Amino acid sequence: MDESSVGSWRDSYRGMSSDNVKGLVLALSSSFFIGASFIVKKKGLKKAGSSGVRAGVGGYSYLYEPLWWVGMIAMIVGEIANFAAYAFAPAILVTPLGALSIIISAALAHIILRERLHIFGMLGCVLCVVGSTTIVLHAPQERVIESVAEVWDLATEPAFLLYAALVLVAVFVLVVQFIPEYGQTHVMVYIGVCSLVGSLSVMSVKALGIALKLTFEGMNQLIYPQTWIFTMIVLVCVITQMNYLNKALDTFNTAVVSPIYYVMFTSLTILASVIMFKDWDRQNPTQIVTEICGFVTILSGTFLLHKTKDAVDGSSASIQMRMSKHSDENAYDPEGMPLRRQDNMRPS
């Protein structure tokens, strides 16, 4: 390898900035706390259910279980860390790392809850790690911003205004026309609303995070009206997002909702960040293609993890279905139609 090629490689990769490192540490911490919180809360739910009415049948005894509250606190800490991560690192680095919480949750469930992790589930974990590492090593440097007014200028440029307008129109059409007719039968309707609104919420969260970071550094951003406008946008978007996500989880199989939502939400968030913060303008084509490959690798690992979970859980479900078939020839497994509501198959 000659000196010119070495110099070219050094120019293309200058290492991670201090802000990117802070964002990376916060994102990894967020994944750990959120992933662990699911396991701790489930342990608390099991413990509370053994001495009271289970949550699955309408009980609230888990509210008196300290272990469940430890899990809730861990989740809150994780969400705060995730919020802070956006203030330091670009969304193209922070958002895909959310897949690591799935790995941590699966690994801890295998160790603590004795929930078997299939060999292909382990392969899914490896793919997520490889994809995350690829994105981390090639993520763009965080844009230097000295005022929330600069973020507002980026948000009001024609390209992002066009994207935001298209998102709002799409959400309006989905809510008014498609949800009343297809909301209970097609998983993409609810998830579409969550993902579209979620991409705007992340941009607003990032803007608010930057404003708070600058304020803590001594440059008060609370005096700017843009800070409060972004705060209102965050509240509206998050409430809307959580409302329709809860509808999706209540209507469809979680194993179907989770990976589809992750793919759509992450893809649209990266697209919104590329348009608003122009992340790819500071990178060469090789880095961009590498990041896309890393993202696709994470998506493959995420789907493999959830598909393997279905296969493991489905073995016992299929046995129960075969047993019930002897007593009722019209019985069938609702999991066979994962994209449709499981409890709407009632006799006419």
Residues 158 and 220 in one domain: yes
Residues 73 and 175 in one domain: no
Residues 42 and 148 in one domain: no
- DSSP three-state, residue 338: coil
What's the pLDDT at 61? Answer: 72
Residues 231 and 183 in one domain: yes
Look at the chain and report how many structural domains it folds into: 2
Residue type at 72 in one-letter notation: M
Residues 88 and 156 in one domain: no
Residue type at 285 in one-letter notation: P
Is 99 a member of any domain?
Answer: yes
- DSSP three-state, residue 345: coil
What's the pLDDT at 240? Answer: 92
Residues 107-140 pLDDT 10s = 887 788 777 777 888 888 888 889 888 888 888 8
Parent domain of 146: 141-282
Residues 156 and 276 in one domain: yes
Is 328 a member of any domain?
Answer: no
**Range in 54-63, 72-81, 110-119, 295-304 with the lowest mean pLDDT:** 54-63
What's the pLDDT at 326? Answer: 45
Is 347 a member of any domain?
Answer: no
Residues 278 and 228 in one domain: yes
Quickly state the pLDDT bin for 201 (edges 50, 70, 90).
very high
Residues 36 and 151 in one domain: no
CA distances to 34, 95, 100, 210 from 82, in Å: 10, 9, 12, 13
| Contacts by residues 158-163 (CB-CB < 8 Å, ≥ 24 positions apart) | 159/275, 160/272, 160/275, 160/276, 163/271, 163/272, 163/275, 163/276
∠263-308-120 over CA atoms, to 5°? 100
What's the pLDDT at 322? Answer: 43
Q: Average of pLDDT values for 137-144?
A: 82
Please state, rounded to an integer, the average pLDDT across all residues of the chain: 80
Is 322 a member of any domain?
Answer: no
Residues 155 and 267 in one domain: yes
Q: b or e along 231-257 (b: 16 or more beta carbons within 10 Å of the residue's beta carbon)?
A: bebbeebeebbeebbebbeebbbebbb
- Of 259, 282, 305, the residue that ends a domain is 282
What's the pLDDT at 268? Answer: 92
Alpha carbons within 13 A on the beta-carbon side of 65? 24
Residue bearing the bigger pLDDT, 196 or 16: 196
Residues 86 and 152 in one domain: no
Residues 160-200 pLDDT 10s = 999 999 999 999 999 999 998 888 888 889 989 999 999 99
Is 5 a member of any domain?
Answer: no
Query: With 80 as the cut, is the pLDDT of residue 51 above it?
Result: no
Residues 66 and 190 in one domain: no
Residues 162 and 259 in one domain: yes
Number of H helices, E strands in the chain: 13, 0
Quickly state the pLDDT bin for 54 (edges 50, 70, 90).
low
Residues 228-258 pLDDT 10s = 999 999 999 989 988 888 788 777 776 677 7
> What is the rounded distance in angstroms from the CA atom of residue 131 to the CA atom of residue 293?
8
- DSSP three-state, residue 185: coil
